Amino acid sequence: MIERNVTDLDLGQIARSGQCFRMNDIGEGRFSLIASGRYIELWQRGDALYCDCEEDEWEAVWRPYFDLDTDYGAFKRAVSPRDKYLQNAIQVGGGIRILRQELFETIICFIISQQNNINRIKKCVENISLLFGETCYNKSKEVYNAFPTPQALAAVTAEELAPCRLGYRAKYIAAASRQIACGEVDLDRVAALPYEEAKAELMRLTGVGVKVAECICLFALHHIDAFPIDTHIRDMLDRHYPKGFPMKRYKGFAGVLQQYGFYYEIYA
């Protein structure tokens, strides 16, 4: 088991933040998480974070996944004291960090996210993993399923995806998976591109428009300048930033503040 003192992190807020869909509250303050084919359980007591894994796995997988080498306190301190909206958003959702997630899974999750809510997205992602992902076992010998590979989903038709209850998104997922599996869109190349170029390349995928590409850039490629605008953020901008969000002031980390605002809009 790993114990680390961590500030600016709240597992519950991250699990509810809408950036990852396989992190679940399993009771008594514990959370399960499946990412990159691995299963882990985590919990907190104050600033102490506990992870049920070995040191090498922590360093290789979970420390970077939670972006623990980044000072999120510095982002918060940079927010103007006169910006009451963002100050309030930080109070409500300031334990959110931008996760470093696996690229293909994030692409599929945010194709699913279109005109959908967090609970339904989570169910869809679990259904896809159950039907098409590799069967794995956690430390307690309990079964879980990894997220499917591009090759696995490329071999599936939209009709075969129907039990996952994806609706019109099934055809997008099947097509995008084929584009990736055949190398038409090279994810290794995308991961190495600057933000705007990566966004443009992602938008070559079937079912990926501007908002979904921004989400992928933010939550998988860690371009924290990305600023996805959905209905919640559009409402926020209309009400609190009618002249536009102060991107220049927050250049380099506007996407972090977007997440605080998104969480505040949903849960405040």
Q: Which amino acid is at 150?
A: P
Does 109 share its domain with 202? yes
Residues in the chain: 268
**By the 8 A CB rule, do 198 and 223 touch?**
yes
Model-level pTM greater than 0.85?
Answer: yes
Does 16 share its domain with 83? yes
Quick one: pLDDT at residue 86?
Answer: 98
In a domain, 235, yes or no: no
Does 175 share its domain with 137? yes
Q: What is the CATH number of the domain that holds 6?
A: 3.30.310.260
Quick one: pLDDT at residue 217?
Answer: 98
Task: Calculate Rg over the CA atoms of the chain.
Answer: 18
In a domain, 199, yes or no: yes
Quick one: pLDDT at residue 96?
Answer: 98
Beta strands across the sheet bearing 23-27: 2-5, 48-51, 38-45, 30-35, 23-27
Quick one: pLDDT at residue 180?
Answer: 98
Quick one: which of 89, 44, 38, 90 has its CA closest to 65?
38
Quick one: pLDDT at residue 10?
Answer: 97
Does 79 share its domain with 185? no
Distance CA 142, CA 132 (A): 18
Does 141 share its domain with 40? no
Distance CA 120, CA 105 (A): 16
Does 40 share its domain with 73? yes
Q: What is the CATH number of the domain that holds 115?
A: 1.10.340.30
- Print burial letters for 160-185: b (CB count within 10 Å at least 16), e (below 16): ebeebebeebbbbbbbbbbbbbeeeb
- Print burial letters for 29-47: b (CB count within 10 Å at least 16), e (below 16): eebbbbbebbbbbbebeee
Quick one: pLDDT at residue 34?
Answer: 98
In a domain, 79, yes or no: yes
In a domain, 37, yes or no: yes
The total of other beta-carbon atoms located within 10 Å of residue 64's CB is 14
Per-residue pLDDT of the chain (268 residues), as tens digits, is: 999 999 999 999 999 999 999 999 999 999 999 999 999 999 999 889 999 999 999 999 999 999 999 999 999 999 999 999 999 999 999 999 999 999 999 999 999 999 899 999 999 999 999 999 999 999 889 999 999 999 999 999 989 999 999 999 999 999 999 999 999 999 999 999 999 999 999 999 999 999 999 999 999 999 999 999 999 999 999 999 999 999 999 999 999 999 999 999 999 8
Does 207 share its domain with 111? yes
Residue 188: give the domain boundaries. 103-219
Q: Provide the number of structural domains found in the chain.
A: 2
Does 174 share its domain with 207? yes
Quick one: pLDDT at residue 138?
Answer: 92
Quick one: pLDDT at residue 182?
Answer: 97
Q: Which of 177, 192, 219 is the last residue of a domain?
A: 219
Query: What is the maximal distance between C-alpha atoms in the chain?
Result: 55
